[in-house]
């Protein structure tokens, strides 16, 4: 399992002192103990203490967290553990937390409270918490003081160490805390138990250097580190040979990806897309998230040149007001954003565009907000995630004096959502009668006689078709456009299937 070092952060010497105060042991006693090898014990033929244990993972937050949970799951399965569908049935429960907004924090504490009853009935039960919330000292302090029955606390930089931490708890009957402020390494080759058979997330980079003034992520995920293009290509080739048709490349700002090739050259994000476009068996490439300030002309060109790159972009704008964008530290103006959209549409006329918007950022005036409405109207988004601004302790905007009253935020939010939804519904209605290429992902959750999948433009489609289509890209005739999805039926003949 290669470990790529990226310089910088060292073993935090003060960690040991800090954790002992709370009755938790350190995960490792010295820097040497921090090797990532423990989870491979099973492969070496030795029995693991974890053999036969049942685990359950609860995941909050973004795709990054979902993918981390896939890795945790993969490591546990390599050690002989099996996944169960509820915490009640498990020997080990892991809550992978998100801290992006206050309600994410609240949901975590609510869920954590419920695990206490399981622990009371079964003292051998192990409760573990990890993820972005655990990268904040005030949260760790709260867990230690109010939820002392939590057995393992670990962070976003040492997921690979989780099997070792679990073994320590079983062996030494001690609670363990191991959280690093940042990490200089990328651990390659960790297993992952994929959530989906035909599509997969692939991390291309970790961390964020942007420090948007509202955002906690740079504090919870550390500084940017890019994986090498060879490591990414090898992973994508492996996935493709295992039946994966679509990969989503993950990074907080994929546009600032800078990988180092084996020969020491820099590979930027557009270069990476061109290289991935060559992977045999892979049919679709997506990515998220793309920061407007770093979106290059070469990436726009890649949409035109690379068949596998889906004609879809998630391009978070956050606000339509240049004054608010400045205070958010986004480093682009309303005008620059609109120019980007124009360029994208000129190069890729059928591109679908989605976004993230924050309502009620400190100091947002009615006039600022109206600029957000008019920008959304001008861009005509296919969809948008809209958020009420949420104060995050430790971020610069939390200290801004001119916080917006909740009632004003909600009133603006509702106006924005009405505009966004009307636009989505209008756009989706225009698909009726069109034929779209859809990757059939599985049986619809709402109706087991229907299949479900996504168009190239990332629109969710429920459609009538045979189960044999699953895992293929099929032509679907769209019969209905709803606000958040489409409905349709597979056009005959199904590719690769002879007509009787
Ligand atoms: N790296 C991505 C965003 C990750 S967070 C990017 O820069 O686009 C996902 C979204 O959560 C952000 O785009 C933003 O709209 C929202 N968000 C982040 N912090 C927030 C906060 N404090 N309050 C409300 N929404 C927030
Ligand atoms: Fe947060 Fe900004 Fe980084 Fe996105 S780019 S993760 S919004 S700081
Ligand atoms: Fe993702 Fe939430 Fe962390 S959005 S990066 S899990 S704070």
- Looking at residue 19, its pLDDT comes to 54
Ligand 2 in contact with 129 (CB < 6 A)? no
Superfamily in which the 3-186 domain is placed by CATH: Methylthiotransferase, N-terminal domain (3.40.50.12160)
Q: Which of 66, 219, 316 to mutate to test the pocket of ligand 1 (most atoms within 8 A of CB)?
A: 316
For residue 30, what are the contacts with CB-CB under 8 A and spacing of at least 6? Answer: 11
Whether 253 contacts 208, CB under 8 Å: yes
**Ligand 2: nearest atom to the Cα of 289:** 4
Q: Is the pLDDT of residue 451 over 50?
A: yes
435-490 is a CATH 2.40.160.60 domain: no
Distance of CA 214 to the CA centre of its chain: 18
- Looking at residue 23, its pLDDT comes to 76
Instruction: For ligand 1, atom 11, name the residue with the nearest CA.
Output: 100
**Ligand 2: nearest atom to the Cα of 221:** 6
> pLDDT over 70 for what percent of the chain?
90
- Looking at residue 10, its pLDDT comes to 44
Q: How confident is the model at residue 408 (pLDDT cuts 50, 70, 90)?
A: very high
Measure 52 CA to ligand 1 centroid, in angstroms: 39
- Looking at residue 498, its pLDDT comes to 47
Q: How confident is the model at residue 493 (pLDDT cuts 50, 70, 90)?
A: low
- Looking at residue 24, its pLDDT comes to 84
pLDDT digits (tens, 9 = 90+) for 9-19: 444 454 554 55
For residue 325, what are the contacts with CB-CB under 8 A and spacing of at least 6? Answer: 318, 319, 332, 333, 334
- pLDDT-wise least confident of 83-92, 179-188, 486-495: 486-495
φ and ψ of 433, to 5 deg: 95, -15
- Looking at residue 8, its pLDDT comes to 41
pLDDT digits (tens, 9 = 90+) for 28-67: 655 555 554 444 444 555 667 899 999 999 999 999 999 9
Q: Mean pLDDT score of the chain, rounded to an integer?
A: 91
pLDDT digits (tens, 9 = 90+) for 115-161: 999 999 999 999 999 999 999 999 999 999 999 999 999 999 999 99
| Spans of all domains in the chain | 3-186, 194-429, 435-490
- Looking at residue 270, its pLDDT comes to 98
Beta-strand runs (E) in 212-282: 225-226, 246-250, 258-260, 266-268
- Is the model more confident about 457 or about 18? 457
Ligand 2 in contact with 212 (CB < 6 A)? yes
- Fold observed for domain 194-429: pyruvate-formate lyase- activating enzyme (3.80.30)
Whether 271 contacts 224, CB under 8 Å: no
Ligand 2 in contact with 221 (CB < 6 A)? no
For residue 21, what are the contacts with CB-CB under 8 A and spacing of at least 6? Answer: none
């Amino acid at each position: 399992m290669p470990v790529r070092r990226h310089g910088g952060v060292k073993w935090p010497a003060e960690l040991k002192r800090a954790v002992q105060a709370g009755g938790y042991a350190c995960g490792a006693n010295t820097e040497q103990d921090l090797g990532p090898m423990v989870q491979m014990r099973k492969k070496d033929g030795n029995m693991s203490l974890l053999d036969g244990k049942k685990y359950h993972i609860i995941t909050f937050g973004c795709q990054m967290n979902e993918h981390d949970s896939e890795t945790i799951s993969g490591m546990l399965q390599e050690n002989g553990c099996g996944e169960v569908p509820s915490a009640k049935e498990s020997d080990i429960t892991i809550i992978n937390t998100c801290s992006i907004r206050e309600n994410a924090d609240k949901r975590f504490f609510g869920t954590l409270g419920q695990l206490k009853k399981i622990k009371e009935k079964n003292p051998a039960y192990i409760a573990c918490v990890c993820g972005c919330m655990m990268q904040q000292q005030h949260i760790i302090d709260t867990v230690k003081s109010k939820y002392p029955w939590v057995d393992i606390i670990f962070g976003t930089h040492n997921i690979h160490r989780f099997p070792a931490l679990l073994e320590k708890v079983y062996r030494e009957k001690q609670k363990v805390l191991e959280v690093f402020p940042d990490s200089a390494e990328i651990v390659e080759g960790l297993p992952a138990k994929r959530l989906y058979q035909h599509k997969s997330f692939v991390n291309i980079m970790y961390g964020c250097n942007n420090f948007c003034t509202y955002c906690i992520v740079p504090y919870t995920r550390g500084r940017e580190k890019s994986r090498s293009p060879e490591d990414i290509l090898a992973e994508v080739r492996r996935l493709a040979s295992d039946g994966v048709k679509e990969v989503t490349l993950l990074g907080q700002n994929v546009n600032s990806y800078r990988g180092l090739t084996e020969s020491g050259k820099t590979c930027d994000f557009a270069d990476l897309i061109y290289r991935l476009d060559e992977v045999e068996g892979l049919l679709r490439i997506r990515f998220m998230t793309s920061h407007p300030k770093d979106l290059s002309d070469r990436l726009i060109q890649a949409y035109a040149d690379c068949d596998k790159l889906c004609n879809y972009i998630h391009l978070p704008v956050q606000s339509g007001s240049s004054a608010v964008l400045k205070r958010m530290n986004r480093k682009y103006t309303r005008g620059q954003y609109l120019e980007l959209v124009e360029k994208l549409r000129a190069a890729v006329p059928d591109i679908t565009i989605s976004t993230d918007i924050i309502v009620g950022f400190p100091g947002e005036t009615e006039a600022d907000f109206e600029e957000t409405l008019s920008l959304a109207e001008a861009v005509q988004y296919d969809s948008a995630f809209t958020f009420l601004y949420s104060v995050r302790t430790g971020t610069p905007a939390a200290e801004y004096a001119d916080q917006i009253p909740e009632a004003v935020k909600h009133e603006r939010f509702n106006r924005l959502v009405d505009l966004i939804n009307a636009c989505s519904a209008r756009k989706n209605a225009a698909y009726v009668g069109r034929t779209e290429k859809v990757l059939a992902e599985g049986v619809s959750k709402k109706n087991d006689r229907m299949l479900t999948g996504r168009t190239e433009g990332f629109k969710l489609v429920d459609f009538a078709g045979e189960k044999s289509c699953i895992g293929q890209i099929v032509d679907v005739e769209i019969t209905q456009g709803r606000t958040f999805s489409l409905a349709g039926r597979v056009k005959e003949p199904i590719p690769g299937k002879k007509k009787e």
